[in-house]
Chains A and B, each alone.
Chain A
Amino acid sequence: MSTQTTGESRYAALFRPGRIGRFETRNLIKYGACCVSNYNERDGTITERELARTRVIAATGCGMITNQGAYPDPRGEGKAYFRQVAIFDDRFLPQFEQIARAIHDGGAVAIQQILHAGRYGGIDLGYCVQPSIVPQTLPHFRPPREMSKEDIRQCVREHAEAAARAVRAGFDGTEVTSFMGYLLANFNSKFTNQRSDEYGGSIRNRGRFMRELIDAIKQATPEHPLVIRLNGNELMDQWGGNDEDECFELMAQAVERGVDMISVTVGWQEAPASSIGRDVAPGHWNYLAARAKRSFPDTLIAFGNRLPDPGMANECIAKREFDYWEVCRPLLADPEMVHKIRAGRGEEIRRCIGALNCLSRLFRDLPYTCTMNPALGHEVEPEYAITPAAVKKKVMVIGAGPAGMECAITAAKRGHAVTVFERGERIGGSLLGYAAHDLARPDDLLSVVRHYEIMAAKLGVELRFNTEANAKLMRSVLHQYDACVVAAGAGIDLEAYAGLPGRERLIDALEVARGRATPGKRVVVIGGGKIGLTLAESLRQGGADVTIIEPSKRIAGDVMPSFKWRHTAWVEELGIRTLLQSRVLRVDADSVTVVDAKGVETRLSADSVIAAAPRKSRQALFAEFEWMIDELHGCGDALIPRGLDAAIHEGYRLGARL
């Protein structure tokens, strides 16, 4: 009789055992060290917060787990993030030992990544080190210093010592990384390597640092596998970086020196094109891994950039396009993902939606968090754990948007009986409007809605649609509930236009988003934030002539930092006119009059004028329900208009403590 689970049989390739060096892996899933957490001490010492997070990672069910990148030098030249882990001294060993032990206890092969950030390093210093002095293209990073040959030799030694230290701590192998534009990539790339000595010039010379690194680590840890992360495409070729063929030639050099696995990656942090964002279709870069596997059939190939779907990964492995699915962000979003697919509960997975909140926060020197996983980074805090409620309550939630549903399913998991009252006819709230007009990946946003639909059904959350929440409703259910959560979201504040001549002609952006109002062919959108932009882009793509009026200096002010550029690029590409530092003076039947900061008036022809700003919380219910229920709470945009991240996080936090 077969002992395979439903998931093991459906994802047979993914759950096949594997081997790296002398170590067996129980499946072909590698937890990738995709993000530095920024949870640690400023001197590189690992904290309890990190250890708690690592215990969650260790329990993900992956066959191989790569611990996040540690910088190898005591000067901090390799340090990319304020609170990055260090591995340059034995004093750091006790915590690394705990991590290696936790990974082994979880049944995985333990790999420690060594990360020297090169061009993106020196975060605490006034400089970074590079093969050559090539100034930064992003102001965030430090001015460069050129490495001398002695610097290079020392750097190689420090990598080898770090690898030996990781193995002493109990790790089975190590990994060095060029992702995304770190020191190794800086030497490999002709964009940043303009040296005229034996480390620069020809591709063979540019690869010398990498070959020396591999040789030194192999010599220091001969019995332990070495993984190397190399670009299949830098996305820097238009700025003079390597093209794809050169990237693969460098991989060949790594293979020649006997690396045990190549992890194929895409892009640099400063690359002008998307590599892992929501606007890149899942599977877009798979061809790079397939090329690597064809080129180096005897070397293990790991891959996972913008490949969040286990079904697709399983298929790629079955077709021998790569050997290990390297996955990180999907496991940030749902640490139970592997267990869920193994148990045939794939529909319960919380998908990574590629919002890149994680990276957006790192660039603000903050610890990383995840839009979809509010507990991430808070594993050490019992308050974030979902524990059985001491007192089981009847909870009413007003609003089936992300804040309300997150609160509802979290509360239901704790044993509360939850009823959601929603004036619309389905789950999703304003997220449905965004998804209907999103140019990136509507399916990512809709996956959030689907998750809530599935979990509500599984957890027995009662849903009452087409039900307007008001004092009358409350009176009809008086004393039937112990707690009420107002998660009614936010609307467009049309009262802000009270003095505007022709204000009755304004169309509410949310009515357009929900398909209840249809604009004409000449549209003016007031407000260049995420609502206005999303609608403007969609309408423009549908053939309308669109102008955005924005009172501030820039559009996309409320957009996630890693996605701002995408909206501004779409506005350019689609030919949407933007009038900044401008406000509407009057709305007529076929035109809008606008005035700019200099007082210059412009008359724009328009058959539809959409108000997409400002937003106003729907807070009236707080006043109406006071004195009618024991506990009254609020969460999400109903408190302050923000976005998906705040909605989900607040909903969770409230659900976890009701």
Chain B
Amino acid sequence: MGVAADALLDLPAWQAILDREAGVFAELAPGASVGFVPRRVAGPDGALRSSAMPSVAPLEMLAWERDAGGMTACLRSYRGLADAGCDVLFFCERGALEAVLARAGSDALGEMKRRIRAGAILLMVLRTRGELRARGYEDFLESLGLPFMGACR
């Protein structure tokens, strides 16, 4: 089992978060998809390798998908960046998603934002800025403290 993978599988808990925070996702267009995978996974030799590679051995990806009825949490197969099948992808260190889940009843996205700032969750965008804007990601990403228009600090 990969690092942080257990938390990925708890779909009822993720669905509860999506339902509770529905307002944050209100602007997302149907078909929008947000993925979560462990940052590192064990290779055949047991050594940990980055999962942010064009191609990796299949692993489970938590997906937040937008359909006409709202956001749905589900599991997809992740085979690498080249064919991730989502618009944005969060790579999660051990413990990060567990910490988000632990705040499921109160401030899950706030915790996610804190974990992003602490470097425990890393966003990678798999669409262009125009495509993301058209799919309604601006509010969602900004709400996580991720500058949509660039930053230099």
Contact = CB atoms under 8 A, between A and B. Distances in A.
A6 B124 CA distance: 54
Interface in A554-586: 554, 561-562, 564-566, 568-569, 572, 581
A273 B153 contact: yes
Given A133-B81, A240-B50, A569 B117 contact: yes
A238 interface: yes
Contacts of B50: 194, 240
B149 interface: yes
B66 interface: no
Contacts of B113: 572
A138 B150 contact: yes
Interface stretch (A139-147, A313-321, A624-632): A139-147
A506 to B, nearest CB: 28
Interface string A216-240: 0000000000000000000000111
Given A274-B153, A572-B113, A137 B89 contact: no
Interface in B81-123: 81-82, 89, 110, 113-114, 116-119, 122-123
Contacts of A364: 149
Nearest to B137: A139
Contacts of A275: 153
Nearest to B130: A139
A216 to B, nearest CB: 29
A277 B54 contact: no
Interface string A131-172: 001111111111100000000000000000000000000000
A135 B124 contact: yes
B117 A239 contact: no
How large, as a class, is the contact surface on chain B?
35 or more
A359 interface: yes
Given A140-B150, A364-B149, A565-B145, A572 B125 contact: no
Given A194-B53, A565-B145, A136 B119 contact: no
* Chain B contact residues, majority secondary structure: mixed
Interface string B111-153: 0011011110011111111001000010101110111111111
Contacts of A126: 128
B74 to A, nearest CB: 22
Interface stretch (A13-21, A111-119, A263-271, A441-449): A263-271
A136 B122 contact: no
A133 B153 contact: no
A277 B153 contact: yes
Interface string B53-84: 11000000000000000000000000001100
B153 A565 contact: yes
B94 to A, nearest CB: 14
Contacts of B152: 180, 269, 276, 356, 359, 362-363, 562
A297 interface: no
Contacts of B128: 126, 139, 142-143
A553 interface: yes
Mostly helix, strand, loop or mixed at chain A's interface? loop
A136 B125 contact: yes
Given A269-B152, A276-B153, A277-B153, A565 B147 contact: yes
A572 B122 contact: no
Contacts of A569: 117, 145
A165 B111 CA distance: 52
A142 B131 CA distance: 11
Contact of B151 (A194, A363, A554): A363
B122 A138 contact: no
Contacts of A269: 150-152
A217 to B, nearest CB: 27
- Which of B118, B119, B132 has its CB near the most chain A CB atoms (within 10 A)? B119
Given A272-B117, A554-B143, A572-B110, A135 B126 contact: yes
A597 interface: yes
B52 interface: yes
Interface in A234-257: 238-240
Given A194-B50, A553-B139, A569-B145, A137 B125 contact: yes
A633 to B, nearest CB: 34
Contacts of B143: 553-554
B23 interface: yes
20 contacts: A133-B81, A134-B52, A135-B52, A139-B125, A140-B129, A140-B150, A141-B129, A142-B128, A143-B126, A180-B152, A272-B117, A362-B152, A363-B149, A554-B142, A554-B143, A561-B147, A561-B149, A562-B151, A572-B117, A581-B23
- Closest A-B pairs by Cβ, 7 of them: A238-B119, A363-B150, A140-B150, A135-B124, A359-B152, A274-B153, A139-B129
Given A364-B149, A553-B139, 8 more contacts: A133-B54, A135-B125, A137-B122, A137-B124, A194-B50, A276-B152, A359-B152, A566-B153
